[in-house]
Structure 1
Amino acid sequence: MTLHPKGFDLSLGRIRALLEKLGNPQDRLPPVIHIAGTNGKGSATAFSRALLEAAGYTVHVHTSPHLVNWNERYRLGAPGGGKLVSDDVLADAIQRVEAANAGQQITVFEILTAVAFVLFAEHPADAVIMEVGLGGRLDATNVIAEPAVSLIMPISVDHQAYLGDTVELIAAEKAGIIKKDCPVVIGFQPFDAARDVLVSTAERLGCPVSIYGQDFIAYEEHGRMVFQNGEGLIDLPLPRLPGRHQMGNAAAAIEAIEAAGFTISEKAIEKALTVVDWPARMQHLTHGALVDLAPEASEIWLDGGHNPGAGVVIAEVLGDLEERRSRPLFMITGMINTKDPVGYFEAFAGMARHVFTVPIPSHDAGIPNDELAAAAERAGLSAEPVHSVANALKLLRDTWPADEIPPRILIGGSLYLAGEVLRDNGTPPR
């Protein structure tokens, strides 16, 4: 058996043994905001970080996967805003974790998660935001005994091979991050069955629980975001991240940060909503090497969403953009074979004029572009396979009629593809 047997091998035994050898750094962390969910956990992480930093707190952040550079997984808290871990500090932590593991069977994600605990225990900060990798119950991050809050974002069907094939089973896995007597915040849930599993778990474990739509909510009014909970009502600017769904994500983060015991003023919340940043989630690409290949004045969006639930949300965002300015929509899509491509593409039926499907060179589980094109056609879309994102953009540029409004282009279907695009475009996350 190799050192890293599989990408996914869900278990807590190996990481607990490794952390024991490292002196259990996970027990020496600042208060932890632990975030799970099928969709929206990355956005909730971004909002939580923005809220804490706007209020003057220092915060460590763990996210996965990285888009371009491994350093993106670890943001170390610092006055004035956290910074991605430096190469030398990261290399030293990885080396020490590998040495402690001493060749025992383990996965790459477990090694990387142990690195997060080592880094966050050794560098002072006021808070840690820990994003779950996959699922919850058996995810390597789930060795935190007493989170300041467990935040669970929207749950839908994804990773069925590992988590189960119904929303109830998947919700039960995500609910594994709920710990006895620790606060729980449940974000918007598209499926009542999932919400019921989460609520019953929280109640069984005696947790203070706050539920979207019952204990807190957010909605748009007069071009502003209204947030309301038991403390009252706050009038706020719309979040900087595009899409109506981001109001729900922002609301869940606000509620979670308060449930974790942090004090955030209304002024800090306002600032956070206007500065929040989250690469590859409806990211507007306005410049770069790839952007230069598209038809002049094209509107280009990048989103790593890759399941049917994400497809619905992205299509809604694009629909809102269409209301403001009509443009023909083209998609450039690559996906890996653990996803449901037809379910993803169905969200765009009747919206997209054409889909270019591309391979994902950086991942050996990418769906071949001809198979992906066939999946798009089964969802009712016009599609063709091409060799690369650059190839698709050049094809559009070379055939675009001079008298037609420039297109709106959505590049997406995979965070791995999004990472390649940011790298090739020369605009990696900072």
Structure 2
Amino acid sequence: MLLALRESVEIREEKFMEYFWWCYDKPKEKTSDDVPMPTFFQFLALLAFKIFSAEKVDVAILEVGLGGRADATIVVQAPIVCGVSSLGYDHMEIFGNTLGGIAAAKADIFKFLFVPFQMQHEIPAFTVPQPDEAIQVLEEKASKLNVKLQVAHPIDASSLNDLKLSLDCEHQYLNAGLAVALCTAWLQRIGHPISNFIQTGPLPEPFIKGLTTASLQGRAQIARDQLTDIESVGDLVFYLDGAHSAESMEVCARWFSLFTKDDNHQTNLNFEAQQQTFE
């Protein structure tokens, strides 16, 4: 997991700090009792946009915070492709306590995928298999906006030449299917000769390499204590995951059970919830 903001951007620390303070000072000049500083996630989005623009990146992959109408990334008016991952009961204090209401809020990102008389290319949207209530709302929203919404299905071992995902969790095969669809749409948009994301055989080698070597600390991460005596290395093992909703906790529990089913060691559960603020 990231311990400092600058770890998320691989540029020199001096340049990162220059961008950081620019993004902090500009809003600070405009704050008042009625106009507070951006929230933490809004600030991160502002910082990301500033860095992407200043560094002239070829492509930017944006992950939403809350998602939908309440998210800072909603300001992006013409994305190349859009993806909606598995929906669950999260951020209910903002989106309500029904899956349909949550899906409706998340689907608001679709409105920027259709700009009449301006877009020269079709801008697709993808999602994963969703509960009936959620997929119905997503499809209705997409239909109203003339957005082509497609369902990306999970990949399997044959897609990876019988290799395993480096993030070896059941739900990551679902996420990998969505990632393949999004990457394929991007490559097709820039004129790369690649077939449709629905494939019956192995994925292209660069896809396989990425999916089998990617790492994401703090998600389904197994960390062994490096300070234990050499003869007892492995006695203390940490199973780390950032699950924070009922659905993700269920997935986390299945992952933990699978990887510890043959382990007779004592198990301790530690759970931490904290609120992030920015001033």
Same fold (TM over 0.5): yes
Name the CA shift for 1:290/1:98 in 2 (closer, same or farther; >3 Å). Answer: farther
Cα shift readout 1:225-244 (whole Å, capped 9, x = no counterpart): 244xxxxxx74522111211
Name the CA shift for 1:185/1:364 in 2 (closer, same or farther; >3 Å). Answer: closer
Query: Partner letter of residue 315 of structure 1?
Result: A
Query: Partner letter of residue 217 of structure 2?
Result: P
* Structure 1: runs of 5+ lacking an equivalent: 1-65, 76-82, 220-224, 228-233, 337-359, 366-430
- 8 Å contact kept, 2:86–2:129: yes
- The alignment partner of 2:267 has SS state of strand
Counterpart for residue 145 of structure 1: 77
* Structure 2: runs of 5+ lacking an equivalent: 115-122, 195-202
Cα shift readout 1:1-27 (whole Å, capped 9, x = no counterpart): xxxxxxxxxxxxxxxxxxxxxxxxxxx
User: Would you say 1:206 and 2:146 are equivalent positions?
Assistant: yes
Name the CA shift for 1:318/1:112 in 2 (closer, same or farther; >3 Å). Answer: closer
- Structure 1 residue ranges (4+ consecutive) displaced by more than 6 angstroms after TM superposition: none
Name the CA shift for 1:327/1:318 in 2 (closer, same or farther; >3 Å). Answer: farther
User: Residue 259 of structure 2: which of 313, 317, 321 is its match?
Assistant: 321
* C-alpha deviation, 1:260, in angstroms: 2.5
- 8 Å contact kept, 1:241–1:276: yes
User: Would you say 1:238 and 2:238 are equivalent positions?
Assistant: no
Counterpart for residue 243 of structure 2: 305
Matches within 5 A, 1:264-283: 266-283=204-221
Query: Partner letter of residue 213 of structure 2?
Result: V
Query: Partner letter of residue 266 of structure 1?
Result: P
For the aligned residue pairs, the C-alpha RMSD in angstroms reads: 2.7
Name the CA shift for 1:296/1:129 in 2 (closer, same or farther; >3 Å). Answer: closer
* C-alpha deviation, 1:247, in angstroms: 0.8
* C-alpha deviation, 1:319, in angstroms: 3.0
* Percent of residue pairs bearing the same amino acid type: 24
* C-alpha deviation, 1:248, in angstroms: 0.8
- 8 Å contact kept, 1:283–1:302: yes
* C-alpha deviation, 1:364, in angstroms: 8.2
Query: Partner letter of residue 137 of structure 1?
Result: R
User: What is the alpha-carbon distance in structure 2 between the residues aligned to residue 174 and residue 296 of structure 1?
Assistant: 42
Counterpart for residue 38 of structure 2: 107
- The alignment partner of 1:194 has SS state of helix
Counterpart for residue 113 of structure 2: 180
User: What is the alpha-carbon distance in structure 1 between the residues aligned to residue 126 and residue 163 of structure 2?
Assistant: 23
* C-alpha deviation, 1:207, in angstroms: 1.7
User: What is the alpha-carbon distance in structure 2 between the residues aligned to residue 298 and residue 290 of structure 1?
Assistant: 8
Matches within 5 A, 1:19-418: 67-72=2-7, 74-75=8-9, 83=10, 85-101=11-27, 102-104=29-31, 105-109=36-40, 110-178=42-110, 179-181=112-114, 182-189=123-130, 191-212=131-152, 216-219=153-156, 225-227=157-159, 235=161, 237-262=163-188, 263=192, 266-289=204-227, 297-323=235-261, 325-328=262-265, 330-336=267-273
Count of aligned pairs between the two proteins = 249
Counterpart for residue 404 of structure 1: none
User: What is the alpha-carbon distance in structure 1 between the residues aligned to residue 43 and residue 251 of structure 2?
Assistant: 33
